Structure formats: C-alpha cells, structure tokens
Amino acid sequence: MSYLALARKWRPGTFADLVGQSHVVRALTNSLESDRVHHAYLFSGTRGVGKTTIARILAKALNCENGVVAEPCGKCSACLAIDEGRFVDLIEVDAASRTKVDDTRELLENVQYAPTNARYKVYLIDEVHMLSNSSFNALLKTLEEPPPHVKFLLATTDPQKLPVTVLSRCLQFNLKRLQTTLMSDRMAKICAAEGLTAEPAALTRLARAASGSMRDALSLLDQGLVFGGNELTDKDTAEMLGSLDQKHIGNLLEALISTDATELIARIRVLDELVPDYASVLSDLATALQQIAVIQLAGAAALDPDMDNDGLEDIAGRLDAELVQLYYEIACAGRRDISLAPEPRLGFEMCLLRMLAFSRGPGATAIVGGGGTAAAKAPASKPAVAKQKPSTPAAAPASIRPTAKAISAAPVLNSSEDWLQLVAGLGLSGMAGELAKHCALVSSNNGVIRLSIDAANEALLTDNMKGRMQDALQACFSDPLKLLFEPRAAQTLQTADTIAQRHEDSKQEELDAARDAITGEAAVQDLIKRFDATVDTSSILPNNSK
C-alpha cells in the first residue's frame, strides 16, 4: 500500500479549506457569485502558499456539474477528475520545462476548439515567469482575447520577471506568507484527524522553520513523524531541525555583555559539540536581538507570543540599545558571508569576536596580538580610559592621540589640545562618540566644561547621548563635573578644533599631496604642454581612500 504525503492528502479542495489567503478567496467567490469571471488570472507568491491549489479550486468552480458556483461540490465527475489529475479540459503546464516558443505555439494550437466535456477549457501555467520572451509574445494575443470557452490561470514565484504586457492582461493576486499560528493550528487539526500525537511546541517550531510555506510545514511534519516514530515531540523536532535551545543563544549574549573573550570562546566550543548549522545559529541570534530591540523600545508585551523569548527581558535591561542594533547588523552580515569563511565554525566565531570588538566598558577582556587574551580590568571607580581606542571610522590623527603622560593623572583642560587628547581616549562609541568628535572646547572652570557644536550636528544633543558623554568624562575626574553645550558661531565653523575637523583636515592634506604628486610628474607635465591637456583632479584620490 503506497503512502500519500500529508501535503498531497490534505491539499484543500474548496475555498473554505484554504487558510491565510482570505483576500484572494473573497475576490474569487464574489466574482463567481456575480458571474464576473475574468479570462486570465495571475497568482503570485512564495513556494507552498497555495497558488496552484487555488487555481485548481477555481477550475472546479468553473466546471462543476452544479454550475458556476463559489464552492464546488467535490463529488461530481468533473470535480473528482480535477482532483485526480485526469480532467481533459484542465491543461496544466510547467513553464520551467517548456520555455521555448515552439512549446507555447503547440500549447495554443487547440485553443479555438471547444472543451471536450466541460464548460470551460482551463490552461494552468505554473512558474510562468520561466517562459522566454518569444514565448510571451506568442501568448500575448491569445491571452488578451481568448475564445469565450477558455480561461488562463497563471502562477509564479517571481512576478517581476513577467513582461508588463502580460501583467496588464491579467487580474493579479499576491498570496501572502502564512502566519506561524495559522500553520501550527492547521497541522494540529491534521494530526488530530490522523490520530497522531504532536506537542504544540513542536508544531510551532515546524511552522517557524517552514517560513510561511504550508507545503513546507506539512513536509516537515511528515519528516518529524518519521523521525519520532509517529510521535512528534519538541525535543525530537529541535534535534531533527538542528535548532538550538534558547539558553545557548542567551549564553552567547551573556558573554558579549560581560565583554569576556575567554568566556565567549568557551561558549562557542560548547556550541560546537552540538554540531549545529552555524548559519542557522546566526539567524537565531539575529532573531533574539530583534526581540531584545522590541523589548527595549516597545516593552515585552509587544513581542510575538509564538516566539521563544525566555530570559531576553533580563538581557534587554543590561545591553545597550545601540549595541543591539550593531550586533544585529553584524549577525545578518555574518550569515550572508559565512559561506566565504574557511570553515563555518571559523566564520561564526569571527562574527562573534567582531561583536566583542565593538563592546566597551569597565572590566573588558581584550584580544591581544598573539591570539591569546589579556585582562584589561579597570578599577571600579575609574575606567581604564587609556586601554580603549576611540570608535571612529578612521584612526585619530597622530597629533591628538592620547599618550601615557596625558592620561596618567586627572586631565587638565587648559587648551584645545588637552581636550582633544582626552576625547580621543574616552572610548565612546556610536552616536555618543560622534557627539564627542564634533565638540570643541570653549572653557573649563570650576568643574564646568563649556563645549560648542555646529548646527549640522545638534541632532546628536539628545539627553541619552549627553548623559553617556557626561558619564565617560566624569570617570576621568575626581570632582563633580558639569557639561554645557552651546551652538558654534558661524565664523568659527571652519576653524573649530574638534577631532572631526582635524580628521577632515588630515584627509584634505593627503588629498592635496596626492594631487600635487600626480600633476607634478614630468610625464604629466609633458602631456599638458604637448596636447594642451588638463588634469581632472577630482579623479585623484590618496592610496588609502576607499
């Protein structure tokens, strides 16, 4: 006795059986009930969301022996023949295997003939975007003005590849990815009807792994039942999918929060013993970071109840919001680039170490050049500012890099040079670092530091950023400190002594030197004299420019 896969056995036979596509069902049932059936329909959407299923139900509704109805009976000879794939007047074509123009012409040869024993002759063309341009041209005229007894039902996963001339001749319906709850509920009903035991958590895990595809979800359900011996448990499902317990993701995040490289590498080694799919682990990590961002900005109540968020609320309270955004970007980029790494494990480890490299704070464990680790723990009362470099897109110019002499004692702010050396050693990252880079010293008296900032960067003056800068500076002084910010006068904008300005001046000097070197070449001067040529200086960049 042959076994019929669940995805085929439980394929919807009526519009009422469909889940998650109510917008399409409503439009089709209304058109059938009002006898306003178009001659060409285009169903688009990702795999397994019901494109060909809806097309077959529509074909049954058009040819049911009870008449053109919104709900086909499913019992007449026409409905049964369509369900069994033997209905002569339903011509199903896989465009991926019949892309040539001759195939399309052969398909359309019999369009003018009436259906054999049905009301309508229905052409169902799957993956229609795979047709060649010549095939589309051959199809256009018939698609625009088909005989009254012909209906075209087109399905595609990539509607952008269809010519606009084809799109304009069809009614278009975009099928949505199915929600996790809809798919898990559907699988629960199928398991109940089949007399199978399935844990709700396991069904939810399968639904998430299916990424919105009901067919994929049922295929995974079949695989899970085989794996678990007709019993679906969350433990077996996680093992089958190669997914990790949330605690492992939490452990990685805890190691990042503590900025302890030794602990982080130890956690990765524990993870490696489970032989995980590291791309999937990075995906889980990115998902956890997204949930943390939601908790920080909207509260835990805004989280998706279907997602496993155990322990993330505590982590959200201890992880800087800017680092969450940065870690998320690094995780997504690492998932994309992991195939380029020498080994997936090495790519994953480098991704986590990159996150750690952007972490700042007292008690950080730094990675040293020899590949080992060196503790760089600072006293609780005063962070070791000298151990941290400013997190800027490029290194600070040599003239303002901090020296041991400059930071060995409490800073003295008698000049702009003193201020720039202090800022370069604060180790501020993100927007707070940008704020510090654009501030110029006005005065420093009796614990009050007055700073100026240009109007273009006043948006950085949020309470959070000013507070972070105040805390970083206060850690360098024993006496209470107060920061005051004021707009920079227009006449001082070009002469303001800030890290950002010095960095721009340094880049301009490099650019001028590069242009002078090129234009001063004897060969270039010879070309200018002989051909009355000019040098396009805008095309000259320093060697270190990107």
CATH number for 332: 1.20.272.10
CA of 70: how far to CAs of 2, 64, 337, 457, in Å? 33, 10, 49, 61
Give the torsion sign (CA, 207, 210, 213, 217). Answer: negative
The SS3 call for residue 140 is helix
Q: Is residue 390 part of a domain?
A: no
CA of 371: how far to CAs of 338, 389, 421, in Å? 21, 19, 29
Q: Which domain holds residue 224?
A: 180-241
pLDDT tens digits in sequence order for the chain, 546 residues long: 578 899 999 999 999 999 889 999 999 999 999 989 999 999 999 999 999 999 999 999 999 998 888 889 888 999 999 998 899 999 999 988 888 888 888 888 888 888 888 899 999 999 999 998 899 988 998 898 899 999 999 999 999 999 999 999 999 999 999 998 899 999 999 999 999 989 998 999 899 889 899 999 999 999 999 988 888 988 888 888 877 777 888 889 998 988 888 899 999 998 888 878 888 889 889 989 998 999 888 887 877 766 666 778 888 888 888 899 999 999 999 999 998 999 999 999 999 999 998 875 433 444 333 333 333 333 333 333 333 434 444 444 444 444 433 344 567 788 888 888 888 888 888 888 888 888 998 888 888 898 998 888 888 888 888 888 888 888 888 888 888 988 876 545 445 688 888 888 888 888 888 888 888 888 888 888 888 888 888 787 777 654
The one-letter code for the residue type at 466 is K
Q: What pLDDT is recorded for position 366?
A: 40
Q: Is residue 94 part of a domain?
A: yes
* 433 and 363 both lie in a single domain: no
CA distance 12 to 34: 23
Q: What pLDDT is recorded for position 490?
A: 53
Q: Residue 405's closest CA among 381, 422, 392, 388? A: 422
* 190 and 167 both lie in a single domain: no
* 3-state DSSP of 323-345: HHHHHHHHHHHHHHHHHHCCCHH
* 94 and 208 both lie in a single domain: no
φ, ψ dihedrals at 462, nearest 5°: -90, 160
Q: What pLDDT is recorded for position 223?
A: 93
* 110 and 202 both lie in a single domain: no
Only one residue has tokens 């109540």, namely 301
Q: Which two tokens stand for residue 141?
A: 């005229």
* 133 and 29 both lie in a single domain: yes
* 128 and 276 both lie in a single domain: no
Q: What pLDDT is recorded for position 307?
A: 66
8 A C-beta contact, residue 147 and residue 112: yes
CB atoms within 10 A of CB 123: 24
CA distance 126 to 345: 40
* 406 and 505 both lie in a single domain: yes
* 149 and 38 both lie in a single domain: yes
Structurally, how many domains does the chain consist of?
4
8 A C-beta contact, residue 19 and residue 182: yes
Residues 6+ apart with CB under 8 A from 208: 180, 306
Q: Is residue 378 part of a domain?
A: no
Residues 6+ apart with CB under 8 A from 227: 236, 237, 239, 240
CA distance 91 to 103: 13
CA distance 208 to 111: 43
8 A C-beta contact, residue 198 and residue 188: yes
The SS3 call for residue 486 is strand
* 306 and 325 both lie in a single domain: yes
* 353 and 277 both lie in a single domain: yes
8 A C-beta contact, residue 356 and residue 396: no
What residues form DSSP beta bridges with 92? 124
Residues 6+ apart with CB under 8 A from 96: 126, 127, 130
Residues 6+ apart with CB under 8 A from 504: none
* 430 and 473 both lie in a single domain: yes
8 A C-beta contact, residue 282 and residue 352: no
CA distance 464 to 472: 12
Q: What pLDDT is recorded for position 164?
A: 92
Q: Is residue 223 part of a domain?
A: yes
What residues form DSSP beta bridges with 44? 156, 174
The one-letter code for the residue type at 421 is Q
Q: Residue 476's closest CA among 427, 544, 535? A: 427
8 A C-beta contact, residue 246 and residue 310: yes
CA distance 49 to 143: 25
8 A C-beta contact, residue 444 and residue 523: no
* 65 and 148 both lie in a single domain: yes
